[in-house]
Chain A
């Protein structure tokens, strides 16, 4: 009975809170819907936002809508949004929040500055990569990627190498900077630690160009198997015949994961020169590289798989791949 009496006010509090939040959400939706035509006009450049006199809730709704649009746009449309935020002092406000004693304010400011898109924020965001809080550092990295800040490449790489940033977050930020990040990181890759070398190869795999082939060639000889395996996977994308030639040689690597990655890359490249070594791996190697080799052979020369699957000692992987080819599974 007593317990029942105690829970009643608690439930009422929860329900009341839910109602208040729902009302606030509805109000915000209405404000944002009203702000949309003005936001579109600003994006188009047909409205000058400098002299806009709006009540604070409407100005905040407009800023929210423009912040969302900023994530989707490029070119003069994005410039118009950046100009809005700069002229209304909203960039300065976020830069002040980036120095707040409260972690949540710093993290929110770091995040929003990426959406706002003002390059004036880059130096402060680079400094925020040294913040004591991981959420702030991650938000700063994400925003530097969104701002395509080439000057942030070195600090981002340092942050990943030192463990201040997870490599997935640092890598995503560097992807945002673009292929110029690969040029810069390529210069560091030969002298820095394994986290940097790994990051360099991952970037090449995503956005590298044929001129980054030397980085891959170097990575194929890396003492760390994971880096060699990533370099094999990146090789197919770059389309350099010199690199592919080296990947054929990686089928004899001492590490099974590297042999598997090399097999997968050769399958994707469709290089028939690798037929014989792939067949050997598919028959005799450990599970993972043997299976990868059988799959690759199925891409390179399906008939070889079908012919050899019926031979004595074919092994389970060639038989499985032959069944997949017959079933039309690719």
Chain B
């Protein structure tokens, strides 16, 4: 995890190492602390361990999907963690499913890291 005295703690979960690099780099440049998870089970464990301020979840992940991780997050007690889903899917049914499952925002890949950062900032301000 990258240390920064300011900014939020953000968990980024994706099985693609390049996505993790790109997203974490942008968020760290914006002054946030990031933590990485490579699969759904790791993501759930890190949410319990770190109680992050926001999560960015890939939909298609090994062990547990992004939807299953989102469900686990929503079933936790304690503060409500904003969640942004990232997906390669073009299907609107996946977007609808994400929002129905309790996601706060949804971005498709390919994505613009600065746009992702803006959406993170909006959710953090709202929270």
Contact = CB atoms under 8 A, between A and B. Distances in A.
Contacts of A99: none
A69 interface: yes
A262 B41 CA distance: 40
Grouping DSSP codes into helix (H, G, I), strand (E, B) and loop, the A interface class, with mixed when no group exceeds half, is helix
A206 B19 CA distance: 25
Interface residues of A, number: 18
Contact of B22 (A40, A75, A237): A40
A275 to B, nearest CB: 24
A78 B113 CA distance: 10
Interface in B1-54: 16, 18-19, 21-22, 25-26, 29
Interface string B100-116: 00000000011111110
A69 B22 contact: yes
Grouping DSSP codes into helix (H, G, I), strand (E, B) and loop, the B interface class, with mixed when no group exceeds half, is helix
B77 interface: no
A68 B16 CA distance: 11
Given A44-B29, A206-B90, A207-B90, A76 B114 contact: yes
A223 to B, nearest CB: 30
Given A43-B113, A44-B29, A78-B110, A73 B90 contact: no
A43 B16 CA distance: 17
Nearest to A46: B29
B114 A40 contact: no
A18 interface: no
B25 A40 contact: yes
A77 interface: yes
A-B residue pairs, 7 tightest by C-beta: A75-B112, A74-B110, A40-B25, A74-B112, A73-B110, A68-B18, A72-B110
